[in-house]
Structure 1
Amino acid sequence: MEAHYRLLLNAFPARHRRQYQEEMLGVLMDRARPGQRRPTLVETVDLLRAATSVRLRALRDTADDHGWSTAAAVIGIVAAILLASLGLRNLVVHLGWRLLVDDIMVRSLPDVLHDLVWLPVVLAALVGWRTGAAAIAWLVTLAEAVVLVERYRMFPTDLLYGLRPLLVAVIASVGLAMSVRHRPVAKLLGRWRTAGLLLAGLLVVGSGVAALLQVTIVPLPGGDAYRETDGRIYFRTLHLSVDLPATVLYLIALVLLLIVLAPLAGSVRRRIATVALPVVVLYLVIDRSFLGYRMATYHFSPPLPLSPEQWVLLALPPVGVFALGIVGLYWYEGRRRPDPVR
């Protein structure tokens, strides 16, 4: 009988068991009827309900702790700066191509606004308008999701290209919303580290300029407007060569970001890494596992929608990595946390 009760009590968190298990076990054994060999159905349901309640309460408390609130504030602004920088990079690259090739299609106003839409979020967060930054971020994210769903019907590959920034947008929105009650990120990080984040964003924008500087003039006979040869794309008389300087700028921006985050508390850094890992995993999954699908959808008509197996492949790795990260985070911190009973 005692073994069955102990098995049910394992549903409670370890710290709760260490503090209350013997007391709960004593109460359960005292209430057992003579000759009873197993817990009743009512007892089983009641214990599982209580264990679930304790775990949910612990999860709520940990979500409100200082580590998560600080991490959310940092994650929100970093993700917003990344999205704003990538949007500005797209705009700079297109304007550069317009200067090099006169007959490239002019970007529409919605496309330009799409490139600039995260700038107000960054500005609002930096000046301390936390509620406004979170509200704008959520509006932009929901609009991005709606547009992505609509484009998927006509161009399924757009989902693959848009899913990664959409995930970053969701992370930015959640982080900014969680940090509404936190102090402004400029005060949290300080003047110099905030400037470091902005400099990293400018390096991302600068990578677009570096890519344009790698454009080499190559004469093409026949006046073809577009040709693809040996994996190299030619546009009239222009050839975009290896983007090494842009890659170097990306790496410098990454190193600068790590320098900015290094002085944060270990608990904050661990939470930031837990949230960042699913984005990296999703990027690798799309980049490595969907090349054949992208080529098939590009060359065949009508476009091929994603199969159920491909949806699972898209969703399972990042979700699984995030779940394992959360479990590993609390397991690690639970081992380091002193036992309140001792």
Structure 2
Amino acid sequence: MTGRDLESRYRRLLAVYPWEHRRRYEDEMLGVLLEDALPGQRQPGIGDTVNLVVAGLRARLGWTARGLTDRAWSDAAAVTGLLAALTLVAVNGHAVISNIPPAPGPEHYPFGGDGIGALDWLPLGTWAVVCLALLAGLRRPAIVLVWAALLTDIALLPSQYGSNPIPAVSGLWQLVLGLVAAVAVTVRAPRRRALALLGTRRLLTIVLALATVDAVFLINRLASDSIGANGSVFYVFHLHDNKVPRRNLELTSGSDAQVMFYLAFLAAAVLALLAALTTMDGPVRRRIAVLLAPVVALVVLVEQTFDGWAVSNMNMGHPIYLVAAQWAALAAVPLLTLVIALLLLTRREHTLRMVALGRTADRNQPTP
């Protein structure tokens, strides 16, 4: 019974290794470990435990790194780079819209911008050119522009954070999305690979969906001259945006029906965008989700845990800066999310391979 307990515990330790490694070497390794065990030993020794865990993690990372070189990853990187660039065009387009000043009236629109300056157009124009370069197959100019835009945002972040930490922190997701775009665009891929994978119809759906979102807020901004008169309805939707002084996405209207009309267009745009992405090839779609997972995790983290800090900043009359633990969380959560997403992807695709092998074996089994 003691030998079986020890064998079972060693097998649990060997589970750290990737499945492919265990399939080839698990029995041999287990035999060596049991042969070297002391008489009556029931627990793996500390030295064996540490060696197995470290070697298993190293092997697992090695298998993962080799998996990252397959064609599905380069395809996913090509599509993700274009999607991230298109998203940043829409985000910076909303920033320009938000800076449109309100029309004069007895009661001004409360979140009106201070006017559009030349610098407001620069990020929008940069990411638009990146998208055009990727679609045209001009990979090198796209790489230069993406990294230049990312490094510029990184260089400006300390001054933005020093003057107003709320938009700087709430807009970190855009910085991470820019990093994802830069890394994805840098991955070697055939010319116009993203366009070939998406197809003209799916690409047009994505572009029109993002354009519709900006168009809804542009129309609403131009139509919302005042608020408060005649019982007008005021809605505020939170959105992290470091280009706008406030962390809000707002729709205003004088009637519920008009607001519902706006929301219907927004919902249709989101559904069209999701439909375009979910109809892509499975391996590429899953890898795109892995690459974008850190961005989503950062948005959720800031939205769910930093609201109290943001409210304190607005009410105290002076900036309240993040402490070291908060910065550590902002850095660690996206990285940890990426690692977990990679492990889940590996497990998912291993399950799919096993199912496919089982179906193949069933088809090849002779009929009795």
TM over 0.5: yes
- d(CA) in 2 for partners of 1:21, 1:313: 37
Contact 1:281 1:318 in 2 (8 A): yes
What is aligned with 1:331?
Answer: 347
Matches within 5 A, 1:14-93: 14-26=19-31, 50-93=55-98
Task: Tell me which amino acid in the other structure corresponds to 1:59.
Answer: T
| Identical aligned residues as a percent | 28
Partner of 2:205: 196
Which residue is 1:271 aligned to? 287
Deviation of the 1:126 alpha carbon: 0.8
* Cα distance in structure 1, aligned partners of 2:25 and 2:160: 55
What's 2:182 paired with?
173
8 Å CA contact 2:79, 2:194 repeated in 1:
yes
Question: What residue identity is the alignment partner of 2:285?
Answer: R
Alignment map for 1:137-216 (pairs within 5 Å): 137-181=146-190, 183-216=192-225
C-alpha distance in structure 1 between counterparts of 2:310 and 2:129, whole Å = 33
Moved more, 144-153 or 118-127: 144-153
How many pairs were matched up? 324
- Worse-matched range after superposition: 261-270 or 19-28: 19-28
Instruction: Report the residue type matching 2:130 in the other structure.
Output: V
Q: Is the 8 A contact 2:293 2:337 kept in 1?
A: yes
- Rate the CA distance shift 1:290–1:11 in 2: closer, same or farther, 3 A: closer
Match of 1:236 in 2: none
Contact residue 6 and residue 25 of structure 1 kept, 8 A: yes
1:207-246 equivalent positions in 2, closer than 5 A: 207-217=216-226, 241=252, 244-246=260-262
Are the structure 2 counterparts of residues 28 and 250 from structure 1 closer, same or farther at C-alpha, using a change threshold of 3 Å?
same
Structure 1 residue 153 displacement after superposition: 1.6
1:238-281 alpha-carbon deviations (Å, 9 max, x no partner): x9625655543332222222222233122222222333344334
Rate the CA distance shift 1:262–1:292 in 2: closer, same or farther, 3 A: closer
| 1:313 Cα offset (Å) | 4.9
* CA 1:143–1:247: 2 relative to 1, 3 Å: farther
Q: Is the 1:9–1:47 contact (alpha carbons within 8 Å) kept by the matching residues of 2?
A: yes
Match of 1:117? 126
Q: Could you say which residue in structure 1 is the equivalent of 2:326?
A: 310
Letter matched to residue 115 of structure 1:
L
Q: 2:303 matched to 1:287? A: yes
- Displacement of 1:10 after TM fit? 3.9
Unaligned runs of at least 5 residues, structure 1: 221-229, 233-238
The Cα shift of 1:115 comes to 3.1
Q: Is the 8 A contact 1:164 1:283 kept in 2?
A: yes
C-alpha distance in structure 1 between counterparts of 2:140 and 2:33, whole Å: 49
Give the SS at the match of 1:107.
coil
What is the letter of the counterpart of residue 150 of structure 1? S
Distance 1:276 1:301 in 2: 36
Task: Please say if residues 75 and 272 of structure 1, whose CA atoms lie closer than 8 Å, have aligned partners that are also in contact.
Answer: yes
Residues 215 and 15 of structure 1, relative CA distance in 2, 3 Å threshold: same
After superposition, the Cα gap between the structure-2 partners of 1:244 and 1:57, relative to the gap in structure 1 and judged at 3 Å, is same
* Deviation, structure 1 residue 78: 1.0
Could you tell me whether the CA contact under 8 Å between 2:77 and 2:184 is conserved in 1? yes
Quote how far apart the aligned CAs of 1:123 are: 0.8
State the 1:122 CA deviation: 0.7
**Aligned residue for 2:240?**
none
* TM norm structure 1: 0.78
Per-residue deviation at 1:187? 1.8
Cα RMSD (Å) of the superposition? 3.8
What corresponds to 1:260 in structure 2? 276
**1:20/1:253 Cα in 2 relative to 1: closer, same or farther (>3 Å)?**
same
Q: Deviations over 1:93-119 (max 9, x none)?
A: 434x36x35997443322321332211
CA distance in 2, matches of 1:217, 1:41: 71
Distance 1:281 1:16 in 2: 31
Gaps of 5+ in 2: 106-111, 237-249, 254-258, 362-368
TM-fit CA distance, 1:185 = 1.3
